Amino acid sequence: MLKKTFFALLAVLLLLVLVMIINTSRLGNTQMEAGEIQPVEWDREAMLERFSESITFKTVSHENPADIDSLAFRRFLDFIEESFPQVHERLDRSMVNELTPVYHWQGSEPGLEPILLLGHYDVVPVDSTDIDGWEYAPYSGTVTDVHVWGRGTMDNKNNVMGLLESAEYLLSHGYEPRRSIYFAFGHDEEIGGQQGAKAVADQFEQQGIRLHFVLDEGGVVMQENPLVDLPVALVGVAEKGYVSMELVVRTQGGHSSQPPNDTAISILSEAIIRVNQNQMPARLEGATEMMFDSIADKMPFANRLIYANRWLLGGVLNNALLDNTATAAMIRTTSAPTMLRAGVKDNVLPSEAHAVVNFRILPGDTVDDIKAHLNRVIDDERIIIREYQTIYTPPTEISPVDTQVFESLQQTIMDRFGDVYVIPYLVIGATDARHFFGVTDHSYRFSPIFMEEDGLSRIHGSNERILIDSYLGSIDFYTVLIERMTN
């Protein structure tokens, strides 16, 4: 009897191993054969000079409207009008809320849904305490042998200028699209895009315009990544949502010489610790699952085995992903305490204490889910939980990758960058593309640049810069993509 049981267990084990190996072998290759893109036959030195000059305009967004130098924005708009005469003479331009230009290039077949190409020309402020940390002045647009330096070189004047260069080139060479094209360049993306891209999207909805395809900033080409030992091109197919919650404690104040056991600050501190130690549940699904599906066949065998058999090893995979902050953010709604406020004097117990916790919402979660989670983990009636201010953006829908639209984008990426793996992913930040999911099913986020090893830390940080070859190559990319999408 014991022997029969042993052999039965052995047979089950062998069958289990066989099933796991079969599942692993079924992971497919979603890539294409790379072609080749011919460089734009244009004055590339002049293109570089125009890009350098664009960086010198201090188009800085601030939360407080009074701090915004609107003259710098208007000067930038005057600059692009002078720099791209064909675009401004032959395309219809409208201004949304005075500072976001929208260009319309009418196609020969108006019945076709138009495409929309996005960028934003506003930039984040430079940290005044770190000016000495910049190798070149942040608004100098300095061109060296390898880079262009300055705020906005990667976020996001590179896309704005690259798109305008491509449009100017195609117009000058007699290109006539069948499908209409819109270009929109937001002036307030860094503070939410409500007056720029959101207003453009609202206009499209009111006019009944349905878009065939939207492309905005987002992923890039990266040599180093935590998934595989290959360069990858990350294409955002969805975005997490955004909301902040405020935790408020009100107690009896008093003199600090006779403190009670629980003060407003101590009660609030304990609540923050509970929130920080009890993150929301993780789920591998949606855009992140699509990402793994596209790259799984190139992962090491052990990782492929785990991924292909999530029905058995899902817990192992989730734990591994949660150990890395980058991948953890892709599989759960994250919470991060970001602001604290309490007290007016060092010897006075505050009667109120406030904390703000920022949440980036995984598709599938809601604000109600977040509130229920906070109530459960804090479990303290003394804590008031409420939404902070009015900024709320829901997670976006997931754009498909099994369509001709995505295949055209993927082919163009591979033609431009060669031996890279194109993979969809969940954007954990925010872009202007999120405002357009009501007028299109195909919204993608990709900047056609190669990201250097330390590039991510430079975006919004010190010494922002872009490789010259990346910028000029983006013009080649956009030119081919426009022809491919509209011909």
Token pair for 147:
């880079």
Distance CA 226, CA 327 (A): 8
**Half-sphere exposure of 397 toward its Cβ, with a 13 Å CA cutoff?**
12
**Residue 298 has what DSSP assignment?**
G
Q: Between the CA of residue 380 and those of 25, 366, 471, what are the distances in Å?
A: 50, 22, 53
247 in Cβ contact with 354 (< 8 Å): yes
Token pair for 32:
């294409």
Please give the full DSSP string across 328-393, using - where no structure is assigned: HTTSB-EEEEEEEEE-SSTTEE-SEEEEEEEEEEPBTB-HHHHHHHHHHHH--TTEEEEEEEEEEE
292 in Cβ contact with 321 (< 8 Å): no
**Residue 439 has what DSSP assignment?**
T
Q: Catalytic: which of 189, 216, 464, 476?
A: 189
333 in Cβ contact with 362 (< 8 Å): yes
DSSP H helical segments within 84-172, as ranges? 85-90, 157-172
Distance CA 384, CA 380 (A): 9
- 285 flagged as catalytic: no
Phi-psi map region of 97: left, alpha, beta (phi>0 left; psi -120 to 50 alpha) = left
Q: Catalytic: which of 122, 216, 289, 297?
A: 122
Helices (H) and strands (E) in the chain, counts: 15, 16
- Residues contacting residue 30 through CB under 8 Å, at least 6 positions apart: 293, 294, 401, 422
- Residues contacting residue 321 through CB under 8 Å, at least 6 positions apart: 282, 284, 327, 328, 330, 331
Side chain identity, residue 151: R
- Using N-to-C axis directions, what is the helix angle for 70-83 and 44-55, rounded to 10°? 170
- 122 flagged as catalytic: yes
Enumerate the active-site residues.
Answer: 122, 189
